[in-house]
Chain A
Amino acid sequence: MLTVTDLSKRHPNAVRAVFDELAFAVAAGEIVALVGESGVGKSTLLNCIAGLEPADRGAILIGREARDIVRLDEAARAALRAASIGFVFQAFHVLPTLTVAQNIAVPLLLSGLAPGEHQARIEALLARVGLAGFAQRWPPSLSGGELQRVAIARALVHRPALILADEPTGNLDPRTADEVLALLLERVREEHASALIVTHSQHVAQRCDRILTLTPDGLQ
């Protein structure tokens, strides 16, 4: 579901490359943790995979159709993200001016699906993330753990092939972090999606299927 080959990236005017000729793959239904020290380029790699930063060389094939996001223009990258990728962020990024249900419906709208037909799925997902009855709530009234559960539901609602998660538990207290992580892994497996989870936490990494460690010399 994600295949990275020969990926190289250098920041403008930088002496050293961020990474050079990276290659790895995440199989369908596989959950992979990406760990590494601060500044090693985990976020840049994630941005490249999401098409938010251009890669210098290489290919990133995403989804069941294995489209190479490196070769797409901006609009097509956005369309590919909308169709094939679900995102979970450290800072939750739940839109404060939309209700919980509306927030979850956003990916459906962006991939051109009518949310009305998916009302049941949104309700079901909310129940599955432990937020039954939260549909009409406004985000400012939710706790951090609840917000991240909303984000997980949003990441899965349009059945993406790939979930990208960036420190999904970084802003949560340990107990909530545990609950949310369990929920995330459970739901990803349930939806048969692939996932790449960037994390500092050994605890998080060990609960994934496989661990990739990014070092200045490449992947290990």
Chain B
Amino acid sequence: MTRLAWWLIRAQFMTRRTATALSMLAIALGVALGYAIHLINTAALADFSQAMKSVQGEPDAVLAAKDSAGRVPLALINEIARDPAVAIVAPVIETRVRVDHAAIHSGAPVKLIGLDIFSAAAVMPKLLPRQDSGGAGMFEDGVHASPALLARLQLKVGAGVTLTRGAARWRTRIVGDLPAARPDDLLLVADIAWVQARFGPPDAVSEGRLRLMPGTRLASWLETWTARLPAGLTLRAAADDTQRVSNISRAYRVNLNVLALVALLTGAFLVFATQLTAVAQRSTQFALLGVLGLSPRMRLLQVLFEGLAIGVPGAALGLALGYGLALAFTRVMGGDLGGGFFSGSTPVIAARLLPSLSFFALGCAASLAGALYPAWLNRVQPLAQALKTGFAQRPPAVHGLYARPRRSVLIASALLPLAALGLTRLPALDGLPLAGYGAIALVLVLGIAVAPLLTQIVFGAVARRALSAPQRVAVQNIVQAPLMAQVAASGLIVSFALTVSMVTMVSSFRLAVDQWLDAVLPAPLYVRSKGMPLPQELLAALERGAAPFARIERSAHGALSLDPQRPAVVLLVREMRRADAAARLPFTGPVVAVATDRVPVWISEPMQELYRLAPGQTLRLPLLGREVDTVIGGVWRDYSRQFGAVVIASDDYIALGGQFEVSDLALWPRRGEEAAAKAWLAAHAAGYGLDIAESSEIRALSLSIFDKSFAVTYALEAAAMLIGLFGLAVTLAASVWLRARELATLSALGFDRAMLTRAVMFEGALIAGIGLGLGLACGIAIGAILTHVVNPQAFHWRMELTVPWLQVLLGAALTLAAGIAASRFAARLATRLPAAQVLASAQ
């Protein structure tokens, strides 16, 4: 029996090479995309958490300030150390410094970690200096550099270096290296006391990393201590950090995976179209086998086997492709999928058995799902009739479903949009816009469900009008044989809807980002130093009158941890007056006037969404080691900091006791001195590793990053359209083939080949028209769901819906033309059969 199945599968593949290969390829594409996304992201996450672990070690819990400018008092470290449940407290001071050695400058700031060798040995073994690095050891004046840093600075152990942060300076020596540091870690490690004496903080450290005694219940221990902590401090389980890292890219990843799923679905659709036509074409053969004694179960299974025979090699190819894709991607672009979360790393792609098997199974499942309906149709074919007259498009069990729109279809068509609308009103589930995705699926189902109804209404009406003979033949065909027409149309509906929605979403987003960049980049020139204050020399020089600038606006960054489960919120300290807020930030709504004795802050849109805040509300912020009550003055649009940002005026920040460590500058050159201003900056900022950029450069860079991050979606759109078109061609060819006898009769009655071809092309155009029309409607609906539901829920930002009509209509016209071309090909195939032979063989 399996031998017969195998013969049939082989025969099927031999006779339908292109369709089979394309179905396989579509399945492979879906699997490859999903698998590649999975591989890249897993690798990037593993890389990120390993990098984190190599620097943070593997503590059980971390005691830190909620404010990045905050600190953990020594007294608290010493108190918590005396808890019998605590095995080790490893205090750490982390800061960023500039490294200078004679004429060599580090450029970008380097992380300097001050640690205590006694506690670090157990908690952060990767940061330990080489044991035999002379007798000088850890306690004296000196720093240990990671091999990567030594290589980058081209320095050797023993070199004298100057470390600078703001006004603080440490002239010291590199006394050893860090043999266990990762190959790309740029790090300096020194004794914690030396770092504290040179760069602070006095009587405090940045963090305490804790190891608890075995058997301690972490959750209840954390709870007990958290209740006793002073304001502004937080104690978190270190295991949460990995989870939080994973959460950072979660929404973005889910989005990509949904796209991969779409690719897989189109693959399933292609298998469906291929297998349906295969079943139709071979209905006589299957009927013969049935008469000869092939059991009904085997007639069902055979088609499923054939689906699987497409799915298995397709999925296997997909795994290989996905692996290659992931490998190539990480080599060229690193571990970042375009979301910007893991940039700068080159993770190692490692295929694990279980996920690989899951993706393989997914590909097989998609092809099986596609073969399911054709298999059932094959199972229920009436043998004697099929043997005589061929494929029955309306098997007895579904007879009447397409004959007349049933009331249930009508009710469903009315209920589906309501259900979809209802889903768009639901909030995000577990931080993911699952209801939004559900609504998108419903819209697609609705589009497909409405297709036969629309076909009959529209073409029923067309058929009543005076038509030329070929047109009448075409219209009659569609009205009377809707199954094939529907298959062809639904492929186009889905693929065109997805394309339109993506184009709509991306262009809405791009326009919004474009406008937003205008608002957030008012100055012509920007200077930025990453993660450390700007050099004092530069700031002092800017104060002097000789600097060719009309206006300078300073700002600083920090990070506030408002919720241990979420990534920190960015704190922006900006030099601006309260009254200027409306002119300085792109507010989404009204700006609230704040009483002079209160501290105003302005929060970003993602922060508003994530923490459910509103203008005018009092917001308690963990600033400078205490809880400060501020008032939300307004909400501003922000497309760059997905986890929220809050702006505070530098005067208010200083009044609260904060240190305004300027890291960013917005500069307005004096009129006519633009070139001089750039030259002045280049001269004064040389060697500090600062980013100096004109607003137009930042703008171009931002937009190019934006375009890059949507490159994957463009590729998918193209694939979806191709698959849709191919589905149209396959199903049209099949339906023509099935009607070969009818066409032959027509030709015997005097239709010439040109007329027949025109009839088939007209039919193709009508089907494509229906598919594109419905696809366009669904696409705009889905685009609206993506912009108004999925984006705010997944990324917490909003934008206006803009339909790029020109692109969309152009795409529709191209698809229509391609559809007509495909039907011409199908028609030629059919009309090439000699009429006499067809008529004779089909008695």
- Complex A–B touching at CB under 8 A: yes
Interface residues of A (CB under 8 A from B): 43, 47, 50, 52-53, 74-75, 78-83, 85, 87, 89, 91, 93, 95, 97-98, 102, 106-107, 109-112, 115
CB distance from B3 to the nearest CB of A (A): 6
Instruction: Give the chain B neighbours of A95 by CB distance below 8 A.
Output: 11, 285, 288-289
| Inter-subunit contact B293/A110 (CB<8 Å) | yes
Q: B751-793, CB under 8 A of A: which get 1 and which 0?
A: 0000000000000000000000000000000000000000000
Question: Is the C-beta of B291 less than 8 angstroms from some C-beta in chain A?
Answer: yes
Q: Are A106 and B292 in contact, CB atoms less than 8 angstroms apart?
A: yes
- In the bound assembly, the distance between CA atoms of A83 and B11 in angstroms comes to 25
CB distance from A63 to the nearest CB of B (A): 13
Cβ of B139 within 8 Å of any chain A Cβ, yes or no, is no
Bound-state CA distance A75–B379 (Å) is: 12
> Known contacts being A109-B1, A109-B3, A110-B4, is A97 close to B292, with CB within 8 Å?
no
Closest Cβ–Cβ distance, residue B15 to chain A (whole Å): 6
1/0 per position for B1-29, CB-CB distance to A under 8 A?
Answer: 10110011001101100000000000000
| Contact among A43, A75, A87, A98 for B292, CB-based, below 8 A | A87
Contact between chains at B295 and A98 (CB < 8 Å): no
Contact present for A87 and B4 (CB under 8 Å): no
Determine whether B383 belongs to the interface, using a CB cutoff of 8 Å to chain A.
yes
- Chain A residues within an 8 Å CB radius of B292: 81-82, 87, 106-107, 110
| Interface contact A52-B11, CB-CB below 8 Å | no
* Contact of B291 with A75 in the complex, beta carbons under 8 Å: no
For B383, what are the chain A residues with a Cβ–Cβ distance below 8 Å? 52
Known contacts A78-B296, A82-B293; decide if A97 and B15 are in contact (CB<8 Å). yes
Residue of A nearest to B285 (CB): A95
The reply on B711 being an interface residue by CB < 8 A is: no
17 residue pairs A–B, Cβ–Cβ below 8 Å: A47-B384, A78-B293, A79-B293, A79-B295, A81-B292, A82-B292, A83-B293, A95-B11, A95-B288, A97-B11, A97-B14, A98-B7, A102-B7, A106-B289, A106-B292, A109-B4, A110-B292
Q: Nearest Cβ distance between residue A110 and chain B, in whole angstroms?
A: 4
B299 nearest CB neighbor, chain A only: A78
Residues of B contacting A107 in the complex (Cβ-Cβ under 8 angstroms):
292-293
Is B724 interfacial (CB-CB < 8 Å)?
A: no
Instruction: Say if the beta carbon of B843 comes within 8 Å of chain A.
Output: yes
* Set of chain A residues within 8 Å of B290, measured between Cβ atoms: 78
Contact A74 B1 (CB under 8 A): no
**Closest-CB distance, A22 to chain B (whole angstroms):** 18
Query: In the assembled complex, which residues on chain B have CB atoms less than 8 Å from the CB atom of A81?
Result: 291-293
Are B291 and A52 within 8 A (Cβ)? Answer: yes
* Interchain nearest-CB distance for A60 vs B (Å): 15
Residue B456, interface by CB 8 Å = no
B387 in the interface (beta carbon within 8 A): yes
Other contacts beyond A74-B295, A81-B292: 20, CB < 8 A:
A47-B384, A50-B291, A52-B384, A75-B296, A78-B290, A78-B294, A79-B293, A79-B295, A80-B293, A81-B291, A82-B292, A93-B284, A93-B387, A95-B11, A97-B12, A98-B7, A109-B4, A110-B293, A110-B294, A112-B1
Query: Is B544 an interface residue, CB under 8 A from the partner?
Result: no
Which residues of A have CB within 8 Å of B399?
A: none
Among A75, A85, A87, A109, contact of B295 (Cβ-Cβ < 8 Å):
A75
Within the complex, the shortest CB–CB distance from B837 to chain A, in Å, comes to 12
B288 to chain A: closest residue by CB: A93
**How many angstroms from the CA of A75 to the CA of B295 in the assembled complex?**
5
Chain A residues within 8 Å of B293, by CB = 78-83, 85, 107, 110-111
Nearest CB of chain A from residue B676's CB, rounded to whole Å: 81
For the complex, what is the distance from the CA of A79 to the CA of B292, rounded to whole Å? Answer: 9
How far, in whole Å, are A115 and B14 apart by their CA atoms in the complex?
A: 23
Q: Which positions 273-300 of chain B face chain A at CB distance < 8 Å? A: 284-285, 288-297
- B297 CB contacts on chain A under 8 angstroms: 75
Complex Cα distance, B384 from A53, in Å, reads 8
Chain B residues with CB under 8 Å of A50's CB are: 291
Interfacial chain B residues near A87, Cβ < 8 Å:
291-292
Contacts of A78 in B (CB 8 A): 290, 293-296
Docked complex Cα distance between A74 and B294 (Å): 11
Q: Would you give the shortest CB distance from A143 to chain B, in whole angstroms?
A: 14
Q: How far is the CA of A102 from the CA of B5 in the complex (A)?
A: 12
Q: How far is the CB of B544 from chain A (nearest CB, A)?
A: 89
Within the complex, the shortest CB–CB distance from A217 to chain B, in Å, comes to 24
Pick from B11, B296, B841: contact of A98, CB under 8 Å: B11
Residues of B within 8 A of A85 (CB): 293
- Give bound CA distance, A102 to B289, whole Å: 13
Complex CA–CA separation, A52 to B288 (angstroms): 11
A69 to B720, CA, bound (A): 51
> What is the bound-complex CA distance between A102 and B285, given in angstroms?
14
Q: Which 6 interchain pairs have the tightest Cβ spacing? A: A82-B293, A97-B11, A81-B293, A52-B384, A110-B293, A109-B4
Which residues of chain B come closer than 8 Å to A102, judged between CB atoms? 7
Indicate with 1 or 0, residue by residue over B349-387, a CB within 8 angstroms of chain A CB atoms.
000000000000000000000000000000000011001
Shortest Cβ gap from A94 to chain B (Å): 9
Q: A78–B379 Cα gap in the complex (Å)?
A: 13
Query: B359: shortest Cβ distance to chain A, in Å?
Result: 33
Give the chain B neighbours of A112 by CB distance below 8 A. 1
- With a 10 A CB-CB cut-off, give which of B285, B295, B297 has the most chain A CB atoms: B295
Q: Which residues of A contact B15 (CB under 8 A)?
A: 97
Q: A78 CB to closest chain B CB, in angstroms?
A: 5
A112 to B295, CA, bound (A): 12
Bound CA–CA A52/B8 (angstroms): 23
What's the least CB distance linking B303 to chain A, in Å? 15
* A95 to B288 Cα, complex, angstroms: 9
